[in-house]
Chain A
Amino acid sequence: MDARLTGIDRGQVLRYLGCRGAYDEALEEELLRWSETLRAEAEPRAVWKLFPLLPDFSLAGACFRLEGDAIRALLKDCDQVILMAATLGNSVERLIRRTQAVDMAGALILDACGSAAIENVCDNLCADLAAEFAPRYLTDRFSPGYGDMPLSQQRELFAALDVTRRIGVTLTDSGLMLPQKSVTALIGVSDRPQTLRPRGCAACGLHDTCAYRKDGKHCGTI
């Protein structure tokens, strides 16, 4: 199950760029150019590991007890949890920094492409995992820092999954990941499909400030 980058979703990139309406051909060309550049440079890597989930929401064999109501609600029907981490690697980090020095507009597009690309890598991994674990069911991905799960739990996740050694992602003192285009997540494993699916605007942390909502749209529609 290798990490795979298979595509960069154009709509997603436009959304990250804040494009909320018409845009011109020149921008379209730039999007294409930078997403090619990014794909050529990306070194996608991923790692995952399965842990039994104990009734007190700690993972068996690891020093990791999940905090927050949201993650506990998501995992209420699960008896196992997959920890996963994925990254585009330092080459992408370097490319974005270098581009910022000479072409800020390009760097911005590149950055947005990077965000869409790591999502794609995660989606592919999750699809592979779903196939691997069938007929059991997987929940949505949930990351430290979402909802009321403290970002500080990133450190426990990193230790349990040995993320730095396995795929080269590091944590800063403040708990942020480098390279920046990296994702960690928890996925529940259960015999039943996930019932609670906290998606849509109501569950979003940007509910009050979202520019799309102000326009009467939402971020899945452009």
Chain B
Amino acid sequence: MLQAAGLKTGELPELWNLSEPGKIAAVHRAYIEAGSRVIYANTFGVNRFKSARCGHSPAELVHAAVRCAKDAAGDLPVKVALDVGPLGQLLEPLGTLRFEEAYDVFREIMAAGEEAGADLAVIETMSDLYEVKAAVLAAKEHTKLPVWVTMTFEQSGRTFVGTTVASMALTLTGLGVDALGFNCSLGPKELLPLVRELRRWTDKPLILKPNAGLPDPATGAYHITPDEFARELVPALDLGVYILGGCCGTTPEFIRALNDALPETVPDAPAVPLQSGVCSGTRAVGFGGVHVIGERINPTGKKRFQQALREGDMGYIVERGVEQQDAGAEILDVNVGLPGIDEVELLPRVVKALQGVTDLPLMLDSSDPKALEAGLRVVSGKAIVNSVNGEQDVLDAVLPLCKKYGAAVVGLCMDRGGIPQTWRARVEIAERILNAALSYGIPKSDVLIDCLTLTVSAQQEQARETLRAVRCVTEELGLHTVLGVSNISFGLPAREQVTVSFLTQAMQAGLDLPIVNPNQRAVMDAVASFRVLSGEDMSAEAYIRRFADAAPAEASKPAASMSLADAVMRGLRDETAALTGKALETMGEMDVVNTLLIPALDRVGERYDKQEIFLPQLISAANAACEGFELIKRRIASRGGESVSKGRLVLATVHGDIHDIGKNIVRVVLENYGYTVIDLGRDVPAKEIVEAVRREHVKLVGLSALMTTTVVSMEETIRALREAGLDCRIMVGGAVLTPEYAAEIGADYYAKDARQSVEIARQVLG
């Protein structure tokens, strides 16, 4: 419409709110005359990033836009919506825009919208559920406006960022939006199957605003007529869509045709059984059937994990996440509680790090409501809170958080009196927790009960009580159950036998969300078998796939003749670990590091320098050596010693640059040579780098930049480090740098590759 009125491609339409208010109001009027009952103010692209380039504040543009819309509406029964579109920048973890900053940008827009007199906020054309969450929280925390959300999907059933319909429905229903649905994307016909899917996962009113069919890829023109559009859209009413409209390619004629085609009375929403579950932004786990929760992100009894938490070693922690996903976990329990650790700061950091590498839904495991809130806020998707118990003050502290952030909650069958000894008393507590959750407005399907596993070697009769409680909670209360299974076998030999047997019996009793160690093959085998017997694994397809080529795995035993150096050179991880273990029988840890592992890596480095091997092989060798270092670290950690480190340094990809694979390679190689790397990530402002160097007292900083344009910010960073008077050496690397250029911008060292960064670290740190 605006383009027809003279707006150029690429011009900011929102500027017309100020320069051409008459033309904007005329467009609104045309839609009102065609029958629109809700009109969107011309605020779609307003945000601080875009308005910075046009010289007007977001508030100014929002006020002008809402005024245009209200002028057009006059006294007519027409609602004016604040229209909030995507920010145009990709959020973490794939992008660099921080969740908190996105929230802040939306806060500004939402507050201006309410102040300007909008009747509701519509968040639309979104691809990233994480961005939507920031916008919804901003609206709910800073205004009283009703909130509608529509997202943009492809025919595949995913958005550009990978959000699924189920994830969208679960997350937004949980966050308490007033209506949700789709806009843009496709034509009405193509969107109906997605509406049907959406209906399965939410009972909220649905919105549908399709395009006028599919665009011509070259011209972007749309082809269906207003009458066709209306005819194709009307069947959506039967799916419970009560809010209809048009997006790209539609005009007032389409709205008029749609109005004419609508029946007098709206049909009742169809009664569809509602599917519950949890999700990340891109993967949903629907409740029903067995879903494994991985227990390994937990410091209890794990010295090496505790060390990683104390050192803020995110790499180690997220690796445990990926490992469990690969082993078949569908949800990850995340527990970072450790004496002396600031859980409120650490939990959200770990949540974000995990979201960067795995798409599994998360279960936040903490007893600190503040840590839970900090974690829930930055979760992408719908999480589970682990846990509450039957104590009223715990319920009152945690349940409102679950309600606000739309999380499911685990209720432990215990209270001030401890764990009841009878199944009946545990079920009573479960009922109490359920009623408390309902009173806070949490749906029944989001209440998960943990009937608690006690160690069978200590309290033998309790295993049966637990199983009976699981059965009763499942069958009588109709709730899903969670159970930490591994604890059952504590103190017994051949623990796996008892654990697996108990797991099988518990699943038979109704347990559907077991918390286990998925890296234990027998445990996952038991789950696979159970799914066949329960009928969940149709035609045993998954089972057959799992065991199709399951030749019994030979324990990897290095050939007798292989040396540790050979194993490292050939990048053989298991063999390197085994041979390191053997060496440790007769040598001290530091001896193994200094006389075996490091010299082996050096030989690899020399071959790399001579171009006998290339970067992938260099990294493989470094990774293999890492297995040896890991073994040594675990040994030292287990007797409470300090970690082995040859020295510490800071690495960062400079501000403005997002290409960090080079920096990550340098990190891996340095770590595998025994250096401790404080990795600040990518797009890191100079100030943050200076602060880290000061705080950590490091003597070496590595900076990377890929682009000519970002070498400028590398230079700024070096200047900032010098001006701060910090006693540190600076090495730089990146595709467009040369030794001369590096010297020119003030660096001490130019590292042409990862291998050379090790030489530099040696010179500086020893």
Q: Which residues of A contact B (CB under 8 A)?
A: 1, 17-24, 26-27, 30, 43, 47-50, 61-64, 89-91, 93-94, 96-98, 100-105, 107-109, 111, 145, 151, 156, 159-160, 162, 164-168, 170-176, 178-180, 205-206, 208-209
Which residues on the B side are within 8 Å of A179 (C-beta)?
Answer: 94
Which residues on the B side are within 8 Å of A159 (C-beta)?
Answer: 9-10
Which residues on the A side are within 8 Å of B318 (C-beta)?
Answer: 101
A43-B127 Cα distance, complex, nearest whole Å: 15
Which residues on the A side are within 8 Å of B616 (C-beta)?
Answer: 17, 27, 30, 105, 108-109
- Would B94 and A105 count as touching, CB distance under 8 A? no
- On whether A102 and B620 interact (CB within 8 A), knowing A63-B8, A168-B161, A170-B89, the answer reads no
A108-B665 Cα distance, complex, nearest whole Å: 8
- Would B127 and A172 count as touching, CB distance under 8 A? no
Which residues on the B side are within 8 Å of A174 (C-beta)?
Answer: 655-658, 683, 709-710
Q: Smallest CB–CB gap between A161 and chain B, Å?
A: 9
Q: Smallest CB–CB gap between B676 and chain A, Å?
A: 17
- Would A104 and B619 count as touching, CB distance under 8 A? yes
Q: Smallest CB–CB gap between B704 and chain A, Å?
A: 14
Q: Smallest CB–CB gap between B670 and chain A, Å?
A: 12
Which residues on the A side are within 8 Å of B218 (C-beta)?
Answer: 1, 48-50
A20-B611 Cα distance, complex, nearest whole Å: 8
Q: Which residues of B contact A (CB under 8 A)?
A: 8-11, 49, 86, 88-90, 93-97, 125, 127, 152, 156, 159-162, 184, 217-220, 282, 315, 318-319, 322-323, 356-359, 571, 611-612, 614-617, 619-620, 622-623, 655-659, 661, 664-665, 668, 683, 707-710, 735-736, 738
- Would A27 and B617 count as touching, CB distance under 8 A? yes
A23-B607 Cα distance, complex, nearest whole Å: 12
Q: Nearest CB to that of B660 among chain A residues?
A: A100
Q: Smallest CB–CB gap between B696 and chain A, Å?
A: 23
Q: Nearest CB to that of B624 among chain A residues?
A: A105
Which residues on the B side are within 8 Å of A20 (C-beta)?
Answer: 611, 614
Q: Smallest CB–CB gap between A179 and chain B, Å?
A: 7
Q: Smallest CB–CB gap between B605 and chain A, Å?
A: 15
- Would A101 and B357 count as touching, CB distance under 8 A? yes
A19-B708 Cα distance, complex, nearest whole Å: 24
Q: Nearest CB to that of A155 among chain B residues?
A: B53
Which residues on the A side are within 8 Å of B736 (C-beta)?
Answer: 205-206
Q: Smallest CB–CB gap between A56 and chain B, Å?
A: 15
- Would B49 and A90 count as touching, CB distance under 8 A? no
- On whether A91 and B162 interact (CB within 8 A), knowing A48-B218, A176-B657, A178-B95, the answer reads yes
- Would A176 and B161 count as touching, CB distance under 8 A? no
Q: Smallest CB–CB gap between A177 and chain B, Å?
A: 9
A43-B161 Cα distance, complex, nearest whole Å: 11
Q: Smallest CB–CB gap between A164 and chain B, Å?
A: 6
Which residues on the B side are within 8 Å of A94 (C-beta)?
Answer: 94, 162, 282, 359
A176-B9 Cα distance, complex, nearest whole Å: 21
Which residues on the B side are within 8 Å of A103 (C-beta)?
Answer: 623
Which residues on the A side are within 8 Å of B8 (C-beta)?
Answer: 61-63
- Would A160 and B10 count as touching, CB distance under 8 A? yes
Which residues on the B side are within 8 Å of A151 (C-beta)?
Answer: 707, 709
Instruction: Pick from B162, B615, B617, B735: contact of A90, CB below 8 A.
Output: B162
A25-B661 Cα distance, complex, nearest whole Å: 25
Instruction: Pick from A19, A160, A164, A172: contact of B9, CB below 8 A.
Output: A160
Q: Which of B86, B315, B359, B614 has the most chain A CB within a 10 Å cutoff? A: B614
- Would A108 and B94 count as touching, CB distance under 8 A? no
- On whether A102 and B323 interact (CB within 8 A), knowing A167-B160, A209-B738, the answer reads yes
Q: Nearest CB to that of A160 among chain B residues?
A: B10
Which residues on the A side are within 8 Å of B658 (C-beta)?
Answer: 172, 174, 176, 178, 180
- Would A104 and B217 count as touching, CB distance under 8 A? no
Q: Smallest CB–CB gap between B344 and chain A, Å?
A: 25
Instruction: Pick from B94, B571, B612: contact of A178, CB below 8 A.
Output: B94
Beyond the given pairs A94-B162, A98-B357, A206-B735, 12 more chain A to chain B contacts, judged by CB atoms under 8 angstroms and listed by A's residue number, are A17-B616, A48-B217, A63-B9, A98-B358, A105-B615, A105-B617, A145-B707, A145-B709, A162-B9, A165-B152, A167-B160, A173-B49
Which residues on the A side are within 8 Å of B668 (C-beta)?
Answer: 104
- On whether A170 and B611 interact (CB within 8 A), knowing A90-B161, A98-B322, the answer reads no
A97-B357 Cα distance, complex, nearest whole Å: 6
- On whether A90 and B710 interact (CB within 8 A), knowing A98-B357, A100-B661, A108-B615, the answer reads no
- Would B619 and A165 count as touching, CB distance under 8 A? no
Which residues on the B side are within 8 Å of A97 (C-beta)?
Answer: 93-94, 356-357
Which residues on the B side are within 8 Å of A176 (C-beta)?
Answer: 656-659, 707
A156-B8 Cα distance, complex, nearest whole Å: 12
A113-B44 Cα distance, complex, nearest whole Å: 37
A56-B668 Cα distance, complex, nearest whole Å: 50
Which residues on the A side are within 8 Å of B152 (C-beta)?
Answer: 165
- Would A105 and B161 count as touching, CB distance under 8 A? no
Q: Nearest CB to that of B614 among chain A residues?
A: A19
A171-B658 Cα distance, complex, nearest whole Å: 11
A–B pairs, 12, beta carbons within 8 Å: A63-B10, A94-B282, A97-B356, A102-B319, A164-B86, A172-B658, A172-B683, A173-B49, A174-B709, A174-B710, A176-B707, A206-B736
